[in-house]
């Protein structure tokens, strides 16, 4: 029974991986592994954040950890529209204003931590990887997030059991009441989400995916991993130290504009290569100039993308 169940789970997970490779809109932000790791770092460095927030999180650490993955529960987020997108600062503010108990508030601060981390993922990491993949045809938004999660420490995956089996009825009720329904109900989305978390927790499955990842030409260099990791942690800590004036508040956690613009730029690079206006070396230079602009414009409302004239 157990072998058959695990085989079924692996088959379903592989179908999911294929889906995220082909369908960009199925995306998480950072993967659940990165968000869980971020929550553990915050708890380890809790004395560095605002005392009022630290007291709430320290009282209900499990609610906080659960909150850091909760914005990704909803399936079909984009159908809620920009203003009611679950990765919207204003929606998170409504959650915080509505929360009554300290447990609910701890969950919301986890939710806000998720959004802070996603400003880096959606406005820098994924757009950069999107442009970088100009020569690949089947690398979606979520591909890069799942690849990043393969580097997460094993201690993180142990937290998934607390998420899938823990009692967060109060915070779930708050989200269900506040978040706008998409293509599925909140409860159905939560059921699917927890199932996916259980799949990601399977150690032997992650090891198999790591073998494939090592053979792939599309890798994340250790120094780049550290760069995005440090930037994400610093962004989250800055937010929790001063949630009213944090740098990341100027960025859209959903990254809709940057993601769309990066897709357009990727297509332009491909077209210029096809027409032999630029060489592969010039295309790579275009990518690196784009990465520099993405980093420098991370918390700015507008980015000035490099053009073909900058590389020829």
Percent of the chain residues past pLDDT 70, beyond the cut: 73
Supply the range of the domain harboring residue 282: 2-310
CA separation (Å) from 200 to 37, 154, 195? 14, 11, 9
Looking at the structure of the chain, the number of domains it has is: 1
Could you give the CA distance from residue 9 to residue 6 in angstroms, rounded to a whole number? 5
CA dihedral (98, 89, 253, 118) positive or negative: negative
Could you give the CA distance from residue 148 to residue 30 in angstroms, rounded to a whole number? 8
pLDDT grade for 82, boundaries at 50, 70 and 90? low
Contacts of 136 (CB under 8 A, 6+ apart): 218
- Greater confidence (84 vs 197) lies with 197
Query: Reduced to 3 states, what is the DSSP secondary structure of residue 288?
Result: helix
**Residue 219 reports pLDDT greater than 60:** no
- pLDDT confidence of residue 225: 75
pLDDT grade for 162, boundaries at 50, 70 and 90? confident
CA dihedral (37, 87, 226, 211) positive or negative: positive
- pLDDT confidence of residue 85: 81
Could you give the CA distance from residue 291 to residue 305 in angstroms, rounded to a whole number? 9
Residue range 259-283, pLDDT digits in tens: 999 999 999 999 999 999 999 999 9
pTM equals 0.83
């Amino acid at each position: 029974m157990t072998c058959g169940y695990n085989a079924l789970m692996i088959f379903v997970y592989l179908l999911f991986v294929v889906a995220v490779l082909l369908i960009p809109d199925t995306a998480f932000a950072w993967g659940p592994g990165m968000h869980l790791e971020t929550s553990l770092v915050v708890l380890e460095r809790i004395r560095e954040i605002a005392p009022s927030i630290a007291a709430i999180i320290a009282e209900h650490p499990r609610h906080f950890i659960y909150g850091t993955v909760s914005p990704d529960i909803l399936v079909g987020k984009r159908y809620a529209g920009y203003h009611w997108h679950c990765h919207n600062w204003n929606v998170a503010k409504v959650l915080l204003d509505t929360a009554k108990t300290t447990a609910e508030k701890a969950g919301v601060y986890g939710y806000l931590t998720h959004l802070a981390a996603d400003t880096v993922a959606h406005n820098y990491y994924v757009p950069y990887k999107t442009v970088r993949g100009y020569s690949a045809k089947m690398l979606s938004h979520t591909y890069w997030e799942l690849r990043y999660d393969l580097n997460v420490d094993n201690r993180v995956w142990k937290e998934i059991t607390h998420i899938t089996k823990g009692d967060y009825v109060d915070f779930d009720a708050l989200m269900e009441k506040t978040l706008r329904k998409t293509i599925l109900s909140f409860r159905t989305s939560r059921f699917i989400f927890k199932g996916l978390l259980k799949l990601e927790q399977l150690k032997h499955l992650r090891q198999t995916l790591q073998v494939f990842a090592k053979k792939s030409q599309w890798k994340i260099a250790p120094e780049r991993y550290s760069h995005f990791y440090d930037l994400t942690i610093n962004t989250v800590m800055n937010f929790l130290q001063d949630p009213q004036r944090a740098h990341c508040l100027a960025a859209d956690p959903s990254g809709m504009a940057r993601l769309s613009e990066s897709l357009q730029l990727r297509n332009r690079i491909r077209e210029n290569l096809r027409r032999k206006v630029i060489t592969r070396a010039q295309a790579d230079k275009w990518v690196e100039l784009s990465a520099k602009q993405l980093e420098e414009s991370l918390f700015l409302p507008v980015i000035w993308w490099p053009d073909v004239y900058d590389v020829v």
